[in-house]
């Protein structure tokens, strides 16, 4: 295993408080909620495991009682592979295997578009990066079956802000401070350009 201090990106003489802080920050960064329905979820899970192990090793070495640490966040979301409808069951299995095109083919060959169909279509779109359609399908699924927690949590995951380091929180396209934006838009002055590159003959 790698040096646990290196994994948490801190020096070996960091205080207990610093260790805890570094661990919390990283756990926030790789939290499963940030990688909901994301094709890179397995990599994030690996990272999460690494930092959990690193943190535990450091704790053990420093003989800190286990109750003092930050809460462990290993498993957040596990994809349900069971369904009452056998056709949808097939789709769920295909998604859990990562075979998105098979899942899509199966969905397209189904005539009845009930709530679960919309939900699974939303998952397929979101795995492919088709975020606009994903949202529409998931919203339809929630509308058709408002009591279903699985559909709700998938839709909520789309609205999850994800990890941001300190100082960058709460920024979004819709609420970006436009006074900062003005400074930012002239930022390119700092770098001397050779006449704006290709833009002038590629007015796309």
Partner 1 sequence: MFGYIRPAAHRLPAQETERFRTAYCGLCHTLGKRYGFAARFLLNYDFVFLVILLSDGTEAACVSCRCAAHPLKRRCAMAGQRALELAADHSVVLSWWQLQDQIADHGFWAGLPYRLAALLLRRAYQKAGARVPQFDRSVCRRLSELSHLEAERCASIDRAAEPFASLLAEIAQHVDEPDRRRILQHILYHLGRWIYLIDAADDFAGDVKSGCYNPLRYRYAVAGDELPQEVKQVLAQTLDESIRQMSGAYALCDYGVWTPILDSIFYDSFYGIGQAVLSGSYHKPTRRELFRIKQRDEEEPL
Q: Which residues bind partner 1 (CB under 8 A)?
A: 29-30, 34-35, 38-40, 43-44, 47, 125, 128-133, 135, 158, 160-165, 168, 171-176, 178, 180-185, 187-204
Give the shortest CB-177-to-partner 1 separation in angstroms.
Answer: 8
Task: Give 59's contacts (C-beta < 8 A, 6+ positions apart).
Answer: 66, 68, 69
Which lies closer to partner 1 via its Cβ, residue 82 or residue 173?
173
Give the shortest CB-192-to-partner 1 separation in angstroms.
Answer: 6
- In the block, tokens 């920050």 appear at 25
- In the block, tokens 């994994």 appear at 7
Which lies closer to partner 1 via its Cβ, residue 2 or residue 82?
2
In angstroms, rounded to a whole number, what is the distance separating the alpha carbons of residues 156 and 150? 10
Give the shortest CB-151-to-partner 1 separation in angstroms.
Answer: 18
In angstroms, rounded to a whole number, what is the distance separating the alpha carbons of residues 186 and 147? 49
Task: Give 116's contacts (C-beta < 8 A, 6+ positions apart).
Answer: 83, 85, 88, 141, 145
Give the shortest CB-67-to-partner 1 separation in angstroms.
Answer: 29
Give the shortest CB-5-to-partner 1 separation in angstroms.
Answer: 16
Which lies closer to partner 1 via its Cβ, residue 87 or residue 113?
113
Which lies closer to partner 1 via its Cβ, residue 70 or residue 171?
171
Which lies closer to partner 1 via its Cβ, residue 70 or residue 199?
199
Give the shortest CB-7-to-partner 1 separation in angstroms.
Answer: 11
Nearest to 152, CA basis, from 35, 42, 27, 36: 36
Which lies closer to partner 1 via its Cβ, residue 59 or residue 122?
122
Q: Is 89 left (phi over 0), alpha (psi -120 to 50) or beta?
A: alpha
Beta-carbon-side half-sphere exposure of residue 104 (alpha carbons within 13 Å): 13
Maximum alpha-carbon separation in the chain: 66
């Amino acid at each position: 295993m790698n040096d646990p201090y290196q994994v948490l990106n801190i020096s070996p003489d960091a205080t207990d408080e610093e260790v805890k802080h570094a661990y919390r920050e990283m756990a926030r960064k790789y939290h499963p909620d940030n990688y909901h329905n994301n094709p890179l979820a397995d990599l994030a899970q690996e990272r999460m495991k690494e930092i959990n192990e690193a943190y535990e090793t450091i704790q053990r070495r420093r003989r800190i009682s286990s109750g003092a640490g930050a809460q462990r966040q290993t498993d957040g979301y596990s994809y349900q592979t069971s369904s009452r409808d056998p056709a949808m069951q097939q789709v769920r299995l295909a998604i859990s295997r990562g075979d998105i095109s098979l899942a899509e083919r199966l969905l397209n060959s189904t005539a009845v578009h009930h709530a679960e169909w919309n939900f699974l279509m939303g998952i397929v779109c979101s795995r492919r990066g088709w975020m606009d359609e994903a949202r529409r399908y998931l919203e339809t699924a929630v509308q058709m079956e408002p009591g279903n927690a699985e559909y709700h949590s998938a839709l909520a995951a789309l609205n999850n802000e994800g990890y941001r380091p300190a100082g960058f929180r709460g920024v979004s396209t819709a609420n970006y401070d436009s006074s900062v934006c003005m400074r930012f838009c002239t930022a390119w002055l700092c770098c001397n350009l050779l006449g704006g590159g290709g833009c002038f003959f590629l007015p796309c």
